[in-house]
Structure 1
Amino acid sequence: MLNYRQLHYFWVTARTGSIARASEQLNLTPQTISGQISLFEQAHGITLFQRVGRHLELTESGRRTLTYADQMFQIAGELETLLRTSPDEQPVLFRVGVADMVPKSIVYRLLAPAMELERALRISCREGQLDRLLADLAIQRLDLVISDSPMPSHLDIKGYSQKLGESGLSFFASPALARQLPTAFPACLDNAPLLIPGQDTMLRSRLLRWLAEQQVQPQIIGEFDDSALMQAFGQSGSGLFVAPSVIAEEVCRQCAVQLIGQTDAVTEAFYAISVERKVKHPGIVAITEGAQRALFTASI
């Protein structure tokens, strides 16, 4: 069994950087803290600190232990706050999973209405692959998953998809690359370096089909499952990249890139996936109503 008091003494010492500062914070003598940490080390057969000159440095065992201790005492602090707060004053936890390919600007705009509710929400966001997020949704580790595709039919998971909206597609390039493009859009895409979404995204096949219909053949130099990473490469001038037209102005401003062209023939849709057919969570209600009222008004 862990001795949590000894672990706490180690944690405070590691966070403050010295036994002397830990003793001041804990209002204990340095000898008490040092002795308790030694007992903890002996009980588990490890060494947590090594002395380098006048300073203490964490060993590899100490660094691993600190990682877990950070999580444990953070949760303990949250629990203490929770127990001291009346139920009506406690924020509602809203756990949201976000598929990698959903642009961060879209995510922020979708979540913004939930943060403006009279009842305070504490939003916890996780980003990852859709299959993993849906698995966590199924066991109620998440309340909602925001994705660029509805619930896949091949997964044996109970879930309901609600389309939040869709947007046409815009093409962007760094100023230097934009100056090299010879003709008007979309002809300028022919033989141009292009960054595209990865194979697991819904947008990829639509985009490639549209390019073929336009009789242009860009040089595909990168495929990305993460929209932010694709934008970072595009911002550096590696190639043209795409993003939903609904955030075109924001992409130009934040990435310092130029808008090359737009099309509504290729659309990217966004979905809210939950385990409830009739949504009750106030955060989900705020997101769906906000998307229909403002973000995707023209395209739903």
Structure 2
Amino acid sequence: MAALNYKHLHYFWTVAKTGGIARASERLHLTAQTISGQIALFEESLGYKLFKRVGRRLELNDTGRMVFDYADRLFTIGEELEEALRFRPGGRALQLRVGVADAVPKAIAYLLLEAALAMDQPIRIVCREGKLDVLLAELAIHRLDIVIADSPMPANVEVKGFHHLLGESDTSFFATPALARLYRKDFPRSLDDAPFLMPGDDAALRPRLLRWFEKEKVRPQIAGEFDDGALLLAFGDGGAGIFAAPSAIAAQIKKQYGLVEIGRTDAVREQFYAISVERRLTHPAVLAIQSAARANLIGNAARNHGTGVLTDS
């Protein structure tokens, strides 16, 4: 066997970790053909096949699993060294790499992350926004420290991770002053036949809203569906319809956009999670976020029980 080529080993590890050559090519910024060729050279140098094809997917064979175990330990140790140097007191600013699922309201993301900015230690936050499955792939290869999501770790993704509840909030309903005058009275029955902006299929809030509408026997007219929370807010600000958002950020939405909170309910609650590859959170900035979130989210929900019409403060 030829001397071990660590570049080829890293390519192999990335393919196995992300679940396929296509995803690995995105992570490594190389073409799928290049990675496929490098894997073939690696197998040739070892004298063993490492993958078996199952339908259109590649799966590790017995030898592949053994090689992966060694590679995983090797590269994990390297990443632990990198983390140790990043957290070294007196060194450069602490870096926090965060993925924010696009279903999470931007104001909630800021509410959570501002605790890290308030730390005594200088910090540099790198934020990435996108679909949850894409962010989890980034997390799996340690390009992110945590992913902030509105749901726990999905069971149908081939990524090893752990979710940590940060907090939860009641749900409030917002509209422009003109719409609020029409639909504020007799909430929530006033939502029947009202124009409503619905979160997209990936949002954990969507099925909770639909169940609540059914329970309250109201059928809003869906004026639009949005995967991106910021786009939904922009349409709401433009008067396209009523929309729901966490009560924890109600004051900010009213102040920043001049919108009116027409009602809220504690029967629909949004939960927010930090997803990490660690069973136990250790990053100092993430621990600060977790601590602050328990006060700002769970505390907010506890103070704002009830369903009903709101008066402006």
Is the TM-score greater than 0.5?
yes
1:283 to 282, 285, 292: 285
Matches within 5 A, 1:155-234: 155-181=157-183, 183-234=185-236
Higher-Rg member (1/2): 1
1:102 aligns with 2:104: yes
Find the partner of 1:271 among 270, 273, 276: 273
Write out per-residue CA displacement over residues 36-79 of structure 1, whole angstroms, 9 at most, x where no aligned residue: xxxxxxxxxxxxxxxxxxxxxxxxxxxxxxxxxxxxxxxxxxxx
Which residue pairs with 2:94 in the alignment?
92
SS in 2 for 1:296: helix
Amino acid at match of 1:138: A
SS at match of 1:137: helix
User: Are the aligned partners of 2:183 and 2:262 in contact in 1 as well (CA < 8 Å)?
Assistant: no
Q: How many residues of Structure 1 are paired with residues of Structure 2 in the alignment?
A: 215
Q: Secondary structure at the match of 2:278?
A: coil
User: Alpha-carbon deviations, 1:111-169, whole Å to 9, x = none?
Assistant: 11111222211100011000000000000000010000011011111111000111111
Cα deviations by residue, 1:7-47 (Å, 9 ceiling, x for unpaired): xxxxxxxxxxxxxxxxxxxxxxxxxxxxxxxxxxxxxxxxx
Determine the structure 1 residue equivalent to 2:142.
Answer: 140
Structure 1 runs of 4+ aligned residues shifted over 6 Å read none
Contact 1:165 1:299 survives alignment (8 Å): no
> Would the aligned equivalents of 1:109 and 1:295 in 2 still touch at CA under 8 Å?
no
SS in 1 for 2:270: strand
Post-superposition CA distance 1:152-211 (Å, at most 9, x none): 011111111000111111111111112222741011101100001101111101101100
The code of the aligned residue for 1:187 comes to R
Structure 2 distance, partners of 1:298, 1:103, is 16
For 1:225 and 1:155, the matched residues in 2 are separated by: 20
Displacement of 1:278 in angstroms is 1.6
Counterpart CA distance in 1 for 2:223 and 2:103 is 18
- Provide the residue aligned with 1:120 in structure 2: 122
Report SS of the residue matched to 2:233: helix
Shift of 1:87: 7.2
Q: CA deviation at 1:89?
A: 3.4
**Aligned equivalents of 2:300 and 2:245: distance in 1?**
17
Q: Which amino acid aligns with 1:252?
A: K
Separation in 2 of the partners of 1:200 and 1:123? 25
The one-letter code sitting in structure 2 at the alignment partner of 1:217 is R
Query: RMSD value over aligned CA atoms?
Result: 1.6
In structure 1, stretches of 5+ residues that fail to align are 1-85
Secondary structure at 1:251 match in 2: helix
| Amino acid in the other structure paired with 1:233 | F
Distance 1:275 1:216, change over 3 A: same
Mean CA deviation greater in 249-258 or 190-199: 249-258
Normalised by the length of structure 2, the TM-score is 0.66
Aligned mates of 1:227, 1:92 — CA distance in 2 = 29
Query: Identity, % of aligned pairs?
Result: 53
Task: Judge conservation of contact 2:184–2:263 (CA < 8 Å) in 1.
Answer: no
**SS of residue matched to 1:272:** strand
Contact map agreement 1:196 1:204 (CA 8 A) in 2: yes
Q: 2:40: which partner in 1?
A: none
- Distance between the aligned counterparts of 2:105 and 2:184, measured in 1? 29
2:259 alignment counterpart: 257
TM-score (norm 1): 0.69
Q: In structure 2, how many angstroms separate the alpha carbons of the residues matched to 1:94 and 1:182?
A: 42
Judging changes above 3 Å, is the alpha-carbon distance between structure 1 residues 176 and 299 closer, same or farther for their aligned structure 2 residues? closer
- Partner letter of residue 246 of structure 1? A
Distance in 1 between residues matched to 2:222 and 2:140, nearest whole Å: 36
Distance 1:175 1:136 in 2: 42
1:182 and 1:250 mapped to 2: Cα distance? 20
Q: Which stretches in structure 2 are left out of the alignment for 5+ residues?
A: 1-87, 303-313
- Once the 2 structures are TM-superposed, how far is the Cα of residue 292 of structure 1 from its aligned partner? 1.5
Mean alpha-carbon deviation: is it higher for 175-184 or for 217-226? Answer: 175-184
CA distance in 2: counterparts of 1:237 and 1:279, whole angstroms: 41
